[in-house]
């Protein structure tokens, strides 16, 4: 029947909305959904990284040793992409120092160490009963002050994303509740218990972005959440769309394709086609920020995995150490082999359990050998093409792999390496167990490095040519015995360009007190430079390599 | 890979039923030599044997190669072919996944070019259907004759070709068309050949149906995609229907003969679908199948080689990289331009 509809070009109403490719790995979600959403006790020490995403650190506004209260502003964003940081509970700032944080890898970042006092004393927050009375820019300001960033994954500042999309104009706002990656159930737990608040949050986001249409998109297998959402949406103009439950339905590009049928153009953001996507967790944080007046100090995090005795979803304070949460769930360290932050397909392995929960940490998985067996040995690619069937970006992973191995950068870029969203669907289906995504990451890095070094050598080449040109000009002036007017700027430039390689130029600024002496010195320097013309080229190459 | 071999079982069983134990001897000899050669090649290349032998790719190559060879081929013939296939075509190009051409078909073609007589002599114990009915191919005497033919060490004097050669038991009925021996075939048809009489025409019909069943099993298990077999079979059907005329039946054959009276099914489902040397994009696979179908038909009808699958597949292998380059799917977010949209004025 579906085939007939497809042939006739009709849309089958029963068919869930879908996108290219995708995989259906075992979900492993029921385990953590057995219990209700729970708040955590307050840990003794909270680690608050000054940056929750890849952007620059926020600027602290409190001093070390100062006592802070819950909801108090600790650091304000240093740049538009940054997010503000608030105290999740009351306590004393014991230090601001480097600590390991899992943002892209487990590299140390600047963190505030908050020694909690257990009192949980809060500053007064201003609740806003009727948010509809506020203008959309006022709402936007509230979100910016609340320090909300995308709670689904990349952690892009929500206020920034909204203001960019306001400028471009948005027709469709999608609230992403697909949560397609195995093990993660935070959004489902949230919707199951607080769907009404999420719907208010979505409503606020719609009124800020001025979108004509707002859609909540959820995977069709989340029946409980769909039930509560349907009830919550009864009086709302927001639509509910069920998506095919396959991975990566929750990818921004994929959810846009599934909901609207449009594709985000390569190298552009969704607002360029009039679409804006926000995570359902972000919508809830927006509700809390606007209606309750509370800044973003907690998030819902799934704790799951076979070594945990009571896997569940926690409403976790930002900055809680991972080890504290694992202990709360009763971890069986005998079978605990490792930990992941994020889902099992795109998550990052934790090397250190003292890292804090970030605004983007939606899931913490304790791995066991039975669920996460050691990687099978990598076999040869037989070009079976399963990966191409699974790829949601419609790439040819088998070709990319071949070009990645042969370091054929031209071909690999022609085949769309930079359109790869690194979802890992290809590696999941690979019968030869090739870690394809690792190959693509390596190639991306290689190409970026190559481009950077090419740009740098171009810069050095230009500077060298300018340097030669200046020498030529000065020489002409000397030969014609014209009175030379020394342009200090040009000398500075010359010094600047030679500072890394040549010591001769250090004499020039010294001579500046006497015009004649300066002329003499320049003439000498020029003669020296002329004598070593070929040497200069060599040294310039050395500079390029050295810097 | 083991599923591919499993899918060959009905076809191999049918062949054995008609052509005797020689089919199985071919497979056993080829498989053991292939595994030994694969192990040597892996050892020389410094690969871990246990991991890389377990992929069973050498076994699949050996089975497909052995099926293509006449039953009861001499061991040295198999050895030359399998050495060329495994060591030269596969490992010297960089091993599994790196070979440009289908190893089994390269081995077959080398033998066809070097030993044309041995490669077109299909040994059937006791001369098949016409030679009398002293014993059948599956009787003990039939086994004995097949083993002697395969391992001429035991009996240096080969069975002279002219004594047992038999038009009806040659490789495929199509060869008889090539050789102008269609009268025997037509006579057999007129006589109303029954299903289990060992005539080559019904034999090949049944063998093809058996391979078709195996191929459908592979499709069902999603080991192969539908693109290549469907496009090959469709191309052959279309072009043979186009040229079909009852008057020139003896030259062009019937569509039915092209599909079931030859090695079409095994070629379409088992040989052309070798993923390593075939096109890998969906559209590329369709063009790849069309090219192979056209070449198969052209060589059969206008060419001078009796078996066209091997040559057609190698021809397709040559085209595959170019097809893949030109048939890349449109990547997400490329192509269609973003729709024009109305800028909404932000409120102040």
Question: What are A's interface residues with B at a Cβ cutoff of 8 A?
Answer: 20, 135-137, 166-171, 210, 253, 257, 262-266, 268, 272-274, 377, 379-385, 388, 392-396, 398-399, 415-416, 419
β pairing state of A38-39 and A91-102: unpaired
pLDDT greater than 50 at residue B346: no
B contact test, residue of A169, A210, A380, A401 with most B CBs within 10 A: A380
Q: What is the pLDDT of residue B41?
A: 93
Closest B-chain CA to A19: B332
Residues A394, B337: C-beta atoms closer than 8 Å: no
Q: What is the pLDDT of residue A116?
A: 92
With a cut of 60, say whether residue A512 has pLDDT above it: no
Q: What is the pLDDT of residue B322?
A: 93
Q: Which of B101, B284, B333 to mutate to test binding with chain A, by most A CBs within 10 Å of its CB?
A: B333
Specify whether the CB–CB gap between B118 and B74 falls below 8 A.
yes
Longest dimension (CA), chain A: 95
Under the banding of pLDDT at 50, 70 and 90, the label for residue A166 is confident
Most confident of A4-18, A45-59, B37-51: B37-51
- CB of B304 within 8 Å of a chain A CB? The answer is no
- Residue A496: which pLDDT band, with cuts at 50, 70 and 90? low
Pairwise CB contact (< 8 Å): B331 & A379: no
Query: With pLDDT > 90 as the criterion, what percentage of chain B qualifies?
Result: 40
Min Cα distance B65 → chain A (Å) is 19
Predicted local confidence at residue A535, as pLDDT: 57
Question: Is B217 buried (19+), middle (13-18) or exposed (0-12) by CB count in 10 A?
Answer: middle
Which of A379, A395, A426 has the most B C-beta neighbours within 10 Å, making it the best mutation to test the interface with B?
Answer: A379
- B324 interfacial to chain A (CB closer than 8 Å): yes
At B142, the pLDDT band (50, 70, 90 cuts) reads: low
Q: pLDDT value at position A3?
A: 57
Whether the predicted pLDDT of B288 surpasses 80: yes
Mean pLDDT of B112-140: 64
The answer to whether residue B150 neighbours chain A at the CB level (below 8 Å) is no
Q: Which of A137, A169, A388 sits opposite B343 (nearest CB)?
A: A169
Interchain contact, B331 vs A135, CB within 8 Å: no
Q: Tell me the ipTM for this assembly.
A: 0.79
Report the gap between the CA of A84 and the closest CA in chain B (Å). Answer: 24
pLDDT over 70 at A142, yes or no: yes
**Both tokens of residue A318?**
């930002």
Chain B residues with CB under 8 Å of A399 CB are 280, 324
Strand order in the sheet with A59-60: A59-60, A73-76, A85-86
Interchain CB distance below 8 Å, A263 and B332? yes
List phi, psi (to 5°) of A216: -100, 120
What are the pLDDT digits (tens) for A354-385?
899 998 899 999 999 988 988 888 888 999 88
Nearest to A135 among B55, B334, B347 (CB): B347
Please give the average per-residue pLDDT across B323-347, as a whole number. 65
For residues B202-218, average pLDDT: 88
Angle at A304 (CA atoms; ends A298, A307), nearest 5 degrees:
130
Closest residue of B to A392, CA-based? B332
Q: What is the pLDDT of residue A327?
A: 92
Q: Are A248 and A22 in contact (CB under 8 A)?
A: yes
* pLDDT over 90 at B188, yes or no: no
Task: Name the band, by pLDDT with cuts 50, 70 and 90, for residue A4.
Answer: low
Does the distance separating the beta carbons of B276 and A383 come in below 8 Å?
A: yes
Contacts of A137 in chain B (CB under 8 A): 346-348
| Smallest Cα distance from A50 to chain B, Å | 32
Reported confidence tier of residue A544, pLDDT bands at 50, 70, 90: very low
Compute the mean pLDDT over every residue in chain B, rounded to the nearest whole number. Answer: 78
For residue A518, give the nearest of A491, A496, A482, A546 by alpha carbon: A491
The β-bridge relationship of strands A73-76 and A59-60 is: antiparallel
Cβ distance B333 to A253 less than 8 Å, yes or no, reads yes
Residues of A in contact with B339 (CB under 8 A): 262, 273-274
DSSP for B87-110, please give it: IIIIGGGTSTTT-SS-HHHHHHHH
Maximum mean pLDDT: which of A146-155, A383-392, B185-194: A383-392
Question: Is B47 near chain A, with CB under 8 Å?
Answer: no
For residue A6, pLDDT beyond 60: no
Looking at the partner chain, which of B51, B98, B347 has a beta carbon nearest the beta carbon of A377? Answer: B51
The contacts of residue A375 (CB under 8 Å, 6+ apart) are A433, A435
Confidence of residue B125 (pLDDT cuts 50, 70, 90): low
pLDDT in tens, B197-209: 445 566 778 888 9
pLDDT digits (tens, 9 = 90+) for B229-261: 999 999 999 998 998 877 776 677 778 878 887
CA distance B341 to chain A (A): 7
With contact defined as beta carbons under 8 Å apart, do A358 and A318 qualify? yes
Nearest to B80 by CA among B119, B42, B47: B119
Q: Would you call B333 and A265 a contact, using CB atoms and an 8 Å cutoff?
A: yes
Question: pLDDT band for position B20 (50/70/90)?
Answer: confident
Q: For residue B139, what are its two tokens? A: 């009787």
Lowest-confidence pick of A15-29, A84-98, B230-244: A15-29
| Among A194-198, B222-226, B243-247, the least confident range | B243-247
Contact at CB, A393 and B331, closer than 8 angstroms: yes
Strand partners, A70: A122
* Furthest CA-CA distance within chain B: 104
Q: Of B72-76, B175-179, B264-268, B321-325, which gets the smallest average pLDDT?
A: B175-179
Q: Using CA atoms, how far apart are residues A156 and B230, in angstroms rounded to an integer? A: 48
First to last CA, chain B: 66
Q: For B321, name the nearest residue in chain A, comparing CA atoms only.
A: A399
Residue B123 pLDDT: 65
Report chain A residues whose CB lies below 8 A from the CB of B227: none
B226 has a pLDDT exceeding 90: yes
**Which ranges of B100-199 would DSSP assign to H, the alpha helix?**
103-114, 116-120, 140-150, 161-164, 173-178, 182-190
Cβ count near A31 (within 10 Å)? 18
Q: Are A219 and A179 in contact (CB under 8 A)?
A: yes
Identify whether A244 is preceded by a cis peptide bond (ω within 30 of 0): no
* Per-residue pLDDT band at B338 (split at 50, 70, 90): very low
Query: From residue A411, how far is each of A161, A323, A386, A447 by CA, in Å?
Result: 34, 45, 21, 12
State the CB neighbour count (10 A cutoff) for residue A66: 12
Q: Which residues contact B103 (CB under 8 A, 6 or more apart)?
A: B61, B65, B85, B86, B89, B90
Cβ–Cβ gap A393/B280 under 8 Å: no
Phi–psi pair at A436, nearest 5 degrees: -60, -40
Residue B156 contacts A, CB cutoff 8 Å: no
Q: What pLDDT is recorded for position B192?
A: 41
Q: Which of A302-306, B129-133, B224-228, B240-244 has the lowest mean pLDDT?
A: B129-133
DSSP assigned state of A384: -
Q: Which residues of B touch A382 (CB under 8 A)?
A: 57, 96-97, 275-276
pLDDT band at B269 (very low <50, low <70, confident <90, very high): very high
DSSP string of B326-337, one letter each residue: HTPPPPTT-SSP
Chain A contact for B96 (CB, 8 A cutoff):
yes
Residue of B96, B99, B331, B340 for testing the chain A interface, max A β-carbons within 10 Å: B331
Beta-ladder partners of A303: A312, A364
User: Poorest-confidence range of A190-204, A342-356, B135-149, B251-265?
Assistant: B135-149
Query: Above pLDDT 90, what percent of chain A?
Result: 44
B55, A434 Cβ separation under 8 angstroms: no
* pLDDT tens, position by position, A33-80: 988 898 999 999 999 998 887 777 888 999 999 999 999 999 988 887
User: For A141-150, B70-79, B172-181, which range has the lowest pLDDT when averaged over its residues?
Assistant: B172-181
């Amino acid at each position: 029947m579906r085939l007939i509809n497809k042939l006739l070009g009709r849309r089958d109403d029963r068919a869930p909305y879908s996108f290219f490719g995708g995989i259906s790995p075992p979900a492993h979600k029921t385990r953590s959904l057995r219990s209700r959403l729970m708040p955590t006790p307050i840990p003794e020490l909270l680690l608050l990284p000054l940056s929750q995403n890849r952007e620059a650190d926020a600027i602290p506004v409190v001093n070390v040793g100062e006592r802070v209260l819950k909801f108090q502003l600790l650091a304000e964003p240093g740049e538009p992409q940054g997010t503000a940081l608030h105290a999740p509970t009351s306590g004393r700032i014991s230090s601001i120092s480097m600590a390991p944080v899992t943002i892209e890898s487990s590299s140390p970042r600047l963190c505030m160490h908050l020694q909690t006092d257990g009192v949980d004393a809060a500053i007064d927050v201003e609740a806003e009963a009727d948010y509809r009375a506020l203008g959309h820019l006022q709402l936007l300001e509230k979100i910016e002050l609340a320090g909300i960033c995308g709670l689904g994954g990349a952690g892009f500042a929500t206020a920034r994303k909204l203001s960019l999309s306001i400028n471009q104009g948005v027709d469709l706002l999608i609230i992403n509740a697909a949560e397609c990656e195995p093990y993660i159930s935070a959004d489902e737990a949230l919707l199951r218990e607080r769907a009404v608040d999420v719907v208010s949050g979505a409503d606020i986001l719609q009124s800020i972005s001025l979108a004509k249409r707002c859609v909540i998109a959820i995977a069709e297998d989340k029946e409980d959440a769909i039930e509560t959402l349907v009830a919550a949406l009864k009086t709302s103009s927001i639509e509910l769309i069920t998506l095919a439950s396959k991975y990566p339905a929750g990818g921004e590009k994929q959810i846009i394709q599934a909901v609207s049928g449009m594709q985000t153009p390569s190298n552009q953001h969704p607002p360029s086609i009039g679409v804006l996507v926000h995570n359902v967790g972000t919508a809830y944080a927006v509700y809390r920020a606007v209606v309750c007046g509370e800044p973003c100090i907690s998030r819902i995090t799934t704790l799951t995995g076979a070594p945990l005795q009571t896997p569940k979803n926690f409403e976790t304070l930002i900055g809680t150490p991972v080890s504290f949460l694992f202990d709360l769930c009763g971890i069986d360290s005998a079978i605990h082999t490792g930990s992941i932050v994020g889902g099992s397909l795109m998550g990052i392995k934790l090397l250190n359990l003292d890292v804090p929960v970030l605004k983007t940490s939606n899931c913490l998985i304790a791995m066991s050998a039975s669920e996460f067996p050691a990687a099978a040995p990598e076999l040869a690619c037989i070009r079976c093409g399963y990966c191409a069937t699974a790829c949601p970006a419609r790439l040819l992973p088998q070709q990319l792999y071949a070009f990645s191995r042969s370091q054929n950068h031209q071909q690999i870029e022609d085949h769309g390496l930079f359109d790869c969203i690194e979802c890992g669907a290809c590696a999941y289906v690979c019968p030869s167990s090739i870690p394809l995504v690792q190959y693509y990451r390596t190639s991306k890095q290689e190409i970026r490095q190559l481009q950077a070094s090419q740009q740098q050598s171009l810069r050095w080449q230009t500077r060298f040519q300018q340097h030669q040109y200046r020498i030529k000009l000065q020489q002409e002036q000397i030969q014609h015995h014209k009175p030379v007017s020394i342009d200090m700027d040009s000398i500075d430039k010359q010094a600047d360009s030679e500072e890394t390689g040549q010591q001769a130029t250090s004499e020039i600024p010294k001579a500046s007190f006497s015009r004649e002496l300066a002329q003499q010195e320049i003439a000498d320097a020029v003669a020296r430079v002329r004598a070593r013309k070929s040497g200069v080229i060599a040294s310039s190459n050395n500079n390029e390599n050295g810097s | 890979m083991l599923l591919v071999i499993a899918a060959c079982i009905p076809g191999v069983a049918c062949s054995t039923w008609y052509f005797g134990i020689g089919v199985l001897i071919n497979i056993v000899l080829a498989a053991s030599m292939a595994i030994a050669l694969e192990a040597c090649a892996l050892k020389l290349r410094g690969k871990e044997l246990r991991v890389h032998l377990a992929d069973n790719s050498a076994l699949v190559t050996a089975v497909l190669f052995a099926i293509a060879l006449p039953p009861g081929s001499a061991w040295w013939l198999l050895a030359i072919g399998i050495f060329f296939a495994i060591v030269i075509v596969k490992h010297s190009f960089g091993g599994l996944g790196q070979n440009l051409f289908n190893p089994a078909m390269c081995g077959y073609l080398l033998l066809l070019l070097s030993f044309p007589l041995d490669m077109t002599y299909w040994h059937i114990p006791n001369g098949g259907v016409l030679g009398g009915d002293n014993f059948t191919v599956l009787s003990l005497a039939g086994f004995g004759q097949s083993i002697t033919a395969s391992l001429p060490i035991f009996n240096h004097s080969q069975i002279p070709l002219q004594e047992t050669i038999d038009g009806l038991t040659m490789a495929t009925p199509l060869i008889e068309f090539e050789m102008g021996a269609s009268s025997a075939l037509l006579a057999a048809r007129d006589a109303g050949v029954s299903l289990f009489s060992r005539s080559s025409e019904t034999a090949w019909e049944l063998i093809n149906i058996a391979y078709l069943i195996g191929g459908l099993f592979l499709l069902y298990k999603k080991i192969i995609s539908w693109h290549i077999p469907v496009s090959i079979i469709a191309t052959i059907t279309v072009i043979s229907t186009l040229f079909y005329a009852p008057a020139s039946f003896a030259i062009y054959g019937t569509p039915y003969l092209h599909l079931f009276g030859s090695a079409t099914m095994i070629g379409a489902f088992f040989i052309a679908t070798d993923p390593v040397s075939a096109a890998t994009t969906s559209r590329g696979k369709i063009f790849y199948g069309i090219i192979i179908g056209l070449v198969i038909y052209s060589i059969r009808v206008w060419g001078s080689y009796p078996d066209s699958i091997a040559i057609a597949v190698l021809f397709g292998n040559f085209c595959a990289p170019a097809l893949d380059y030109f048939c890349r799917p449109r990547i997400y977010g490329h192509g269609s331009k973003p729709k024009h949209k109305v800028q909404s004025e932000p409120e102040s």
